[in-house]
Structure 1
Amino acid sequence: MKKIILAFVLVLAFLQPYMLVAQDLLKSQNLSAVIVDNLKDTDILKIKAQLKANNLSIDQAETMALSKGMSATEFGKLKLRLQEENQEQVLTKSEPLSFQEGRVKEKAAAGKVKDTTIARIFGTELFDNPTLNFEPDLKLATPVNYVLGPGDELQVAIYGVQEYSGSLAVSPEGKVSIPYVGQLYVSGMTVEAATAKIKGAVAKVYSTVRNGQSTLSVSLGRIRTIKITVIGGKQPGNYSVSSLGTVYHALHLAGGPGINGSFRNIELIRNNKLLRNIDLYRFLVSGNASDNIGLKDNDVIRIPSYSNRVTIEGEVKRAGIFELKSGESFKDLLRYASGFTDMAYTASVQVLQKTAKELKVEDIKSSSFGSYLPKTGDFFKVAEILNRFENKIAIQGAVFRPSIYSFYSGMRVMDLIKLAEGLKEDAYLKRARISRLKSDLTTEVISIALDQALNNQNQANILLQKDDEVTIYSVNDFVEDYVVTIEGEIKKPGAYAYLENLTLNDLLIEAGGLKDAASKRVEIARMKKAEEIDDKDLNRVELIQLDIDPKSNEQLTNFSLQPFDVVTIRRIGLYEKPQTVSVEGAVAYPGKYVISTKNETIYDVISRAGGLLSKANIFGVKVIRSIKQKQINDLKRVNTGDESNKEELKDIIAQNLNQTIIPIDWDQIEKDPRHRSNIVLQAGDKIQVADYDGSVKVSGNVVLMSEIPFHKGKGFAYYFNAVGGVDDKGWKKKSYIVYPNGKAATTSSFLFFTSYPKVIAGSQIIVPEKPERQKMTTGEWVSIGSVITSLALLVVTAFK
């Protein structure tokens, strides 16, 4: 019994790796002993389901399996079987009087590894593209010339008076077995011939088929798998392919030719005889797929090494490495490379050749493209055309069509002006300029009298040369750009172009008209011009005072302006729009109030608001005032002293100080309205009157932050005790209080005495945190000891 148990344990241990793989490939920790050949098809299906459930591809699972000890060879086998499983379609058994739709084939697959080492060789993209696999289409009609063999399956159907449906598999002996008819030999026959033979045999049994009352049809169901061999590919070996498979499909399974394999002379060998030489360039260049013939069992595809490979780079549409046959010229190479690009230099092409000892360079003229026969290893470089023109001439300036034109021998200045459709009206006729490039590539300027050239005087209408640039000046080029400026109470102040006869009325209209605040006074500042300087005249400009009608843009006195005049529209003496302040909180009539006088105070506005309510806290009145933009800009210009985060600190200052709180002592104001707290209000001020709050809030570094009921006469110590005291980090001596009106008071210390501020209802006591003190290091203590020792020695020495 013990021996049986031991044997069972050994068998279990031997099978454990396979069981682990079959049960859970992802969770197994040791896959070193896995042998894929021992796995069943059901195990492969389980692994496939695991990968699908975890959303993993076969390639992603490879790294994980190798890290757990699985050999690369075994994973290659596993990958192959998983791919075969993906390609396999399950054929359900045909029931009587039913027909199997569609066509399936047996397992036929091979792993494919993408190789980037030969990506520049023309044609490799044909085999690196996963969407271009040349697999036979199983949905096509059954080819009548298809030759049957063992492994094929025929679908036979009889319909009409008598009915029958069944699948007939071709046995290894080449026969099919038909119920009540017998066995028929069909191997080696075409589908068409087999159909006629089956029909004749069935007609002997089924009389309705013989007399035409029933019809018999035969189609190809399951397609057999054939074995072929590929030699010289990136993945040479034996492959199982569909019996409908073709040469290109087999080459794709093998990854195409290897790094030294030929694309032009691939051999298809059948029955030990060369059947066909396959040239892939026929398909790649012209789309001719005549070489993609069907395969048969035991076919051999042999890919020999290349004989002649050359490289072409530069300005061609498809640069790379190409294979040439004997007798093919550089013109053929250009055709394979899809020809020159638009910017290619086509007069000649440079080729770098290899001799027996060294390299040499040769230039191939365009006339020799069809006769030059490239040699293996040649490197062709197609250059770019020069960035220059052989017949360019240009004209710019005061002509109707300034541009680049075609130069011809004998062209003169007037000929070029006519091509540009003549001179503009503003052309300057006294002088034109020609910029000419000399033979040493320096530039010279030639001036001509344009008015003489117009009269066809050859001395001025000179001959032009290639690359000349003719410039026709405009009279406006010599005129200064004049402006006038208008400022003040005008809708669109700014500088405007001065035009001849421009008047004040014209400028007022162009600037959008006068504002409602414009006064009748207008000041015009005019520049002074003189040939000589008068030291006695201290005026820098001439000031002109005008009176206008501020209600009209059309003035009775239409004053003429001059270049660079500055017009200022003055503001009327009193022009202020109503401005408001707001009152919030415990007052009878909160809301916005218009400032009625220049010195209206907070007492005046609160009185207009009906005064404070009984629930108001007289110590909780404050004014919130917005800081003006100028003050914010001034804050941003503050020197913070920290250059590392200077800008950040400035932004923080500006954001936190965009408004300020003014505490108000309302108790004193009620006693004496002339008290300093009775401030004069500004536009936009917000008056806040807080409700009475009968508690004191204690926060900061205390044991328990809380609000304590106000106890009249009690100080800081009472409220500290009420919240459990100050915590370890609390700085009691620096505690402070914030009153309801926004005013703050700090704790003061003198010698051993500490004075705390008065506490009132609604206040907030805050205990700050103690600053961290950095402990002195051992080295610092040693330094201090050394200094003290030195001082002691000095003192002792001094008293000796």
Structure 2
Amino acid sequence: MRRMLLLLLLIMPFSYVWGDTLTPGDRVFLQLPGEEAFDDPYTINDQGQLRLPEVGLVNVAGLTVIDAEQRVRQKLASIYRNLDEFKLTIMEQLIRIKVLGYVEKPGTVSLKPGSNVQMALSAAGGARPGAQLDKFKLLRNSNTKIFNYKAYLDSGDQTLLPSLKGGDTIFIPASSLLGNIEMNFDDMSIHERGDADEAQGITIFGELRNPGTFSFKPNMTVVDALMRANGVTRYADVTKIRVITDGMSYRFNLSTYLETGDTSNLPPIKPGTTIFAPIEAPEKTSTDDTQGVTIFGELHKPGTFSFKPNMNVVDALMRAEGVTRYADVTKIRVITDNVPSQFDLKVYLDTGKTDNMPEVKPGTTIFVPIEVKDINTTSRTIYVMGEAKAAGPYETSPGTSFIDVLANAGGPTRFADTTNIKILSNTKAPIAINLVEYAQNPAKYTLPTMSPGDVIFIPEKVDLNEKSWLKVTNDRAIKIMGAVYKPGRYEWHDSMTFMDLLAHSGGPKQQANLSNIRIIKESTAENKGHEVQFFDLQAFTKQGSPTNLLPNLNASDTVIVDELPHDPTDNKAGWIRQAAKDSIYIFGEVGAPGRYAFNQDLGFLDILSAADGPNSEADIQEILISHRNGKTSRLTRFDLARYFETGNEKVLPKVSAGDVIYVPKTESVADTKAVKVIGAVNTPGRYKWNNQMSFLDLLAMAGGPKQEANISNIRIIKESRVGKENVIYFDLESFINEGGNFAGLPRLEAGDTIVIDELPHDPSDNKASWIRQSSDDSIYVFGQVGVPGRYAFNRELGFLDILSAADGPNGEADLRQIRISHRDGNKTKVTQLNLSLYFETGDESLIPKVVPGDVIYVPRRQGDWLDKPAERVVRLMGAVNKPGRYSFNTQMNILDLLAEAGGPTDNAYIDRIMIVNTSCCGDKSQTFSLRDYVNDPSGSPLPLLRPGDTVYVPDQDDSVTEQFRQGIRDALGIITLIVLGAAL
């Protein structure tokens, strides 16, 4: 090892770039051949000394290499004789720096010349979380220099860091936010709630996402400060943000700034500025109660905090992260030196004046009470009463209008009479406001000005659902009767029209005669009788007449809307009212042949649909139409099937009033040309068939399947096949829902028969038709349900569907013990369901999946007495008609209990009813005579009975008299036996 070091020293070109003298921390090599103690290099300690073997400490700091070598040689000469080859060489020159304060490893570190503060800090393990980065100190001899390490980290400018020399000391201070007690550092808290003290920072609190105290930066605006707190919350009133700078209070409207972008109204921001966003932010530090400030009440983090000089109430509140949105900021209580005082934070934020701000000292107690509803009688209050969404007192400012107050109160409710709003004042006469007229024409309606103390009263509108006609007098009401949906008596206003009244009554019914509406006008002073007017609403709507042709209605008028016959074919009693010139006749194979009203706006298809269309036996290819003009007749033959095939409107014949339409019955079609459709279709029967038709064509000719048809299992019976192959099954439901190729439709031939089964009309109707339902499509429900049985089921349905199909559980069902047997054909698995828990939680994961083939069993409830705890019932036993456990409360007495149990039996001994009272300190017993109470209620008070007690009504056999009588009988029996024995 020594030889290697010698070789290195010989071949290395040394240039003393580190300096001319030795300093603490330098590493030197002492060349002394033959001595193993000098094989390793030595380091000059902080006192500038080398510790050498056999010699001890040698001072070399401040000496040149030659001088140091000479001094060491002199020291070694007393021990070692051969020093001809001794040489001192510098291997590495270092500087020693002390790094103290809030660092991970405080102490002295060795650095290379030219190292900076960051290297020294890194050698000491780095700064601890919570270190004050902008106030580092460099101590050199007796001088102290403060520098901003944070600014260096922000910019990377090394000129901001002082140069280091051996012997320097770097001190890292702790942040003032840490307080006096060592705690786990929450860097997220500092990040979110601020990183500056109250004097040099900006305090932001209230309805902000991260309130706190933050560092001030030059040219900072209010918006910059708000964004430093991550912006306002959704509860913030951005129109009334308050800013206090140099004792001046500013109000800032963030909403106006965002709309206009005008920066002229931005308040100035300086160190120490306080910003408050109305309705709702640094780290809490607990300390000694006598030396700290105790803050509690409606605050985000109440507690005891360190006292700081010149601390005020607002500073103290910010130490608790500001008040909550429930705090009453006008009644904050401060106790200093045992003298209580009250502080109004709201007044301070409005004015910025500190005259009434209580002094804060060590030991001060601050209480922020919760805001409670009290009577608001300030000099700026306006009251809103009646049918408003948020009625109550509201503080106003000069220029507040009636609409402003009404909008702040949420506006009128749907029950409000907005035509008769009143403003009440102590100085002016009441003013009526019609909000409806104002909404129709705001420019021509003048709203009154509001003054503090005024009352806005919004009355409730008249409930027209009540039958009392006195709610609306006759001079304000109009009546409508007949074929309207809501006939009755309605409140009337001159701004309404006939159409308003008709719409308010629900409109005319379908069978209303709109061409002859009658209006009865009440008698006037000039006309002693009433006047009847007629109005044709049907012609009015068709011709698009102007609104001024509507009848002029007034209050007290009566409108009558007559009703047409309910059925156009109902002409047995009312046909005479229908003129022959306005009628058309239709006979033959239609759903409802007869005589129908007809006009020139109608056509052939209209009259055919009015007669319910052709029935299944109609021959629609041979329809006959007789055209009559009163003198001659002309016959037309019409093929309706051709119209259905082509859709050509020109083939439809023109018919008019007086014509006769005859739909003949179709002739019998041979099986070789027909296909039969039977089952659940609208018009089953035999239909002509040709090869151009498809399965869907034939189904449409049969009127389509009925709603209750089972279209998932249609059977087609082929006449041309024999055996099992003559039946084909087709799933029309899957074809409709999932789609399919039309080539996949079953191919029909003349002579085939289509059978469409009908589902049960009632899901529980399986007594006669259950055999037609496949077990693969069925599910079974047994037990305590409304209609147990076997139900059709598919995989799109669920447990609740089948339970509701069975009319749900009945009153005897035990919802906690429902069992489902899942059967897959090979094995069975049983699932237990607590349906009551599902109803309580709504957790869909509790509902099991059921498939066709499963069995659901709802058991009978065994008894629910366990559901009633003993402390809420009274036990009644003995000679009563219905002994048992009864629910009991403090409003009941023993007579209620006996009455609920059906009263005592005929053999009950009511003179000595026993009651056992249960209490915390032991059970107590008492007796009660029902007979004495009946004879003298005032002299025999009812005993106190509480939940948890036990009442026992004894039998007559248990009475003392009965027992005495039994004893006499027994004694007489014994005597009789003795006498008989003696006689024998």
TM-score normalised according to structure 1 size: 0.29
Larger RCO, structure (CA 8 Å, separation 6 or more): 1
TM-score normalised according to structure 2 size: 0.25
